[in-house]
Chains A and B, each alone.
Chain A
Amino acid sequence: MSMNSENRNTGNIYAACTEFEVALEDHLQGSLRGSEAATLTDHLQSCVGCRAALADAAASARLLAIAEPSPDPGPGFSRIVMARIRQQLQASEGKSIWRPFVSVAWRFAASAAFALVMMVSFELGRRSQSHSDQSIVAQNRIPEIVQDRPALPASRDEVILMMADTSNGKQ
């Protein structure tokens, strides 16, 4: 027969064989039947530890029988709970009157903030773009070493006038 070799009889605890603890608890509760009951009965005849543990368990049950279960809180309790639930529901409903407005206000504020951010970023982007364009133009500007060429005459009259100017200038 398999037994808890030392039966852990430390102090005053009579420890049962570990493999019989479930059966012992069932036996205590009167729910052990058939072959399991027979096996335990056989075991109890030869095992002092389990016998002592079972006696202890039975004594503990007698001891615990002194205690009384919690009394029924009575019919008033459910009414108290329901009153508390209604109170909480009313409180949450009171808050919820403003909830749609708060929600709309938050949406409006969020949209306005988004629009503002977009406008500011657009403006900043535009400014930085124009600034960079100017700087690019400034960087790429060719120093004016050569003056602008005079425009070519478009008609015969202009040629005559140019010739007249030229001759006047020479004079």
Chain B
Amino acid sequence: MPDVPKNMAASASALSLPVSRREKGEEERQLVRLAQSGEEAAFEELIRRHQQRVFGLVSGILRRREDVEDVVQQVFLKVFVSLKRFDQRAAFSTWLYKISVNECWDYLRKKKVRPLVYEADLSEEQVSRLDGVVSADQPPASSSDRAEAKDLLERMMEKLPEQDRQLLVLKEVEGFSVQELAEILDLNVNTVKVRLFRARARLMDVYRRRLHSKPAPPAEGKEG
């Protein structure tokens, strides 16, 4: 008999994942319907559920942290105003992220934000710290080292084309999937993958150019 509950548990767990996901989706649709009918508590719940991802998305696109909160508030305000027109054919999150991206573009256009330029190059000490991270997957030990490494990484990211920087941040830092990025940015999934892969290569190029004045080690020799 001990197998029976195990089997049942296994089958339940196998079934429960899609069911719970479906239930979660239905729950969200219900929340959206309530919010559409003017239920403020439902809308507040939708904000709570999505605020972190919207923050991540907006942070990934905008460079200045101080602008992010204002833009995110504006996003939710727009969502509230236009919620009645949302027909739920797409997922609420996809619609919300698209509004967020558009709000970011509008913001950047209005503000005419220029890229931040870091003139100063990095010291040898800073270079060696980052080398440890890149070559051996050694995360900075202390919090101050970590903060400095983050700052160095941000400097390098600023050297990248805007599109590369945004894709890398959204994918690798904020945790958006390739599928989500394709939906949000209205791109083909494979296009996102190719752009991501090339952005990674450019980041490493910046890393070599900016951190090492010496050229990268030569390849083993071209075969095939």
Contacts and interface: CB of A to CB of B under 8 A. Distances in A.
Contacts, number: 156
Interface range on chain A: under 10, 10 to 19, 20 to 34, or 35 or more?
Answer: 35 or more
Given A69-B174, A70-B52, A63 B203 contact: yes
Contacts of B73: 80-81, 84
Contacts of B198: 21
A65 interface: yes
B47 interface: yes
Contact of A64 (B51, B135, B172, B190): B172
Interface in B194-209: 194, 196-198, 200-205, 207-209
Interface in B43-64: 43-44, 47-48, 51-52, 55-56, 59
Interface stretch (B21-29, B110-118, B216-224): B216-224
B187 interface: no
B130 A63 contact: yes
B150 A68 contact: yes
Nearest to A58: B200
A60 interface: yes
Interface string A1-29: 10100010101111110100110111011
A53 interface: yes
Given A59-B204, A73-B55, A82 B133 contact: no
Interface residues of B, number: 60
Given A57-B200, A59-B135, A52 B219 contact: yes
B153 interface: yes
A56 interface: yes
B59 to A, nearest CB: 4
B139 interface: yes
Contacts of A28: 197, 200
B133 A7 contact: no
A85 interface: yes
Contact of B194 (A25, A64, A86): A25
Interface of B: 40, 43-44, 47-48, 51-52, 55-56, 59, 68-69, 72-73, 76-77, 80, 130, 133-135, 137, 139-140, 146, 149-150, 153-154, 156, 168-169, 172-175, 178, 190, 193-194, 196-198, 200-205, 207-209, 215-216, 219-224
Q: What are the 3 A-B residue pairs with the smallest beta carbon separation, nearest first?
A: A46-B224, A60-B200, A64-B172
